[in-house]
Structures are given as structure tokens and as C-alpha cells.
Amino acid sequence: MEIITERVKTGDGVEAFLARPKDQKAPAVLVHFEIFGVNGHIQDVCRRIASEGYVALAPDYYWRLETRIAPYSDVQAAFALASTLKDEEVLSDVGSCLQHLAAQPFVQAGGIATLGFCMGGRLSFLTAARYSKEISAAISFYGGGLAGENRRAGQTLNPMDEAAKVRSPVLLFYGELDQHITANYVDQFTGRLKELSKGFQSYVYRGAGHGFFCNDRGSYNAEAAGDAWKKALEFLDTNLKGAQAAVR
């Protein structure tokens, strides 16, 4: 399958990286980055999603800044970038991106998925809560802050409080050895979803740490990443392609 990639800008000025199959309409997936920005890894994730028959759009929430990417070797710089973000501003950017996708002739109507890593995993869930009518599936890879823990100044929303608004099924991935998202936080968040009778699946990978999906990081765990990717694709197929096929 031939893939087209390009940098795009929404009508509100939000910049993003887009990857899509050439010459075909496809369901869309919104990809939320880690604190490091829309770097090579996130772009590669978009290409991989596009090669599976989806339109993948990764918004650059740092578009207002001069510096937009931090290397994995400089976590302090990455946190400095992340500290500039405000939930309401980011979710406004998300809305702009959803409108942009809906207006594209190559995007198949009928639902959009949201997927994110770490900080992006939290944003993926908040997107599903804020835009519940538009989002048909939500995926979070080691979403930091889902239980409301360790929020920065701009993170005014607590996903635990927003969870009632989510209508779509949710898929969660965690690493057993994650020092940031410990088992008690996982239990708090999944317990909240159970309390609300939300449809979700949660997987904790034994021996995997934070960032296990990213093959550019020392914490990469090929076995966990491979299994999570397979499950994510099955989830997308069921809730995007499968749902649209049922409608037709």
C-alpha cells in the first residue's frame, strides 16, 4: 500500500503530521504524542497506522512554540515543553483537527479513533470525553495522569471526573515495571471505569516499563510492543472498520 505523508495546518493554525493511504477513503485515527513532540517515532507510528488502511493525524500541540521537539536524552527539556500546555487549549486544538479531518475527501465518515502515548494517552482519553459524539474508539498506551496523579499547572481536568462522558470503548496498555504509573494508579482508574460500567480492556505487560512501545527508547520491549500493536489494530478494526461495515 502506497502511503502519502504531509504537514498540514487546520483553519485555526494548528499544525500536524498526516499519513494516509494513497487514492482511497479511510477511517481516521488521531495520534497524540508523548512529551517529546511530533518526532520521528510519532511520525513512524502514523505511517504504520496508515499502512493498515487508516488516515493518521498527529497534532503538534507545541505549534505555538519556537522549539517543538525534545530528544529522548533530555527529559528535562521535554517536561519544559509539556509544562506550557493547557488542557483547554489542547482540547480546542483537538476540535480543530477533528473538523479538519471531517472536511477531507479521503476521510471516511462515521467515527474517528484516538490513540496516544504517556501524556498523549491521557489526552486520548480526554478527547474521547470531550468529543464523545465524534470518537468511536480510544486507546491509551501508559497514559500518565489518568487517575488524576501528578498533574501539572495546565492540566486542570481530572480524567477520573471526565470518565462519565466517554461513550466509546477504551483500550488501555500499561507496563508492570512502570515507575511513573504504578499499580495503584492503574487500579484507581480502571476501578472508576468499572464503577461507571464503561466498556474497556486493560492489559499490564509483565517485565515492561514506561515507554515500552517506543523502539527509540531504552525502555523498548519488543514482545510487549508487538502484542499491544496487534491488540490495538484489532480494536481499531472492530470499532472503526467493523462498525462502518455494519452500517453499510
Active site residues per annotation: 118, 178, 210
Three-class SS of the chain: CCEEEEEEECCCCCEEEEEEECCCCEEEEEEECCCCCCCHHHHHHHHHHHHCCCEEEEECCCCCCCCCCCCCCCHHHHHHHHCCCCHHHHHHHHHHHHHHHHCCCCEEEEEEEEEEECHHHHHHHHHHHHCCCCEEEEEEECCCCCCCCCCCCCCCCCHHHHHHHCCCCEEEEEECCCCCCCHHHHHHHHHHHHHCCCCEEEEEECCCCCCCCCCCCCCCCHHHHHHHHHHHHHHHHHHHHHHHHHHC
Q: What residue type is 91 in one-letter code? A: L
- Say which residues have a Cβ less than 8 Å from residue 194's Cβ, sequence separation at least 6: none
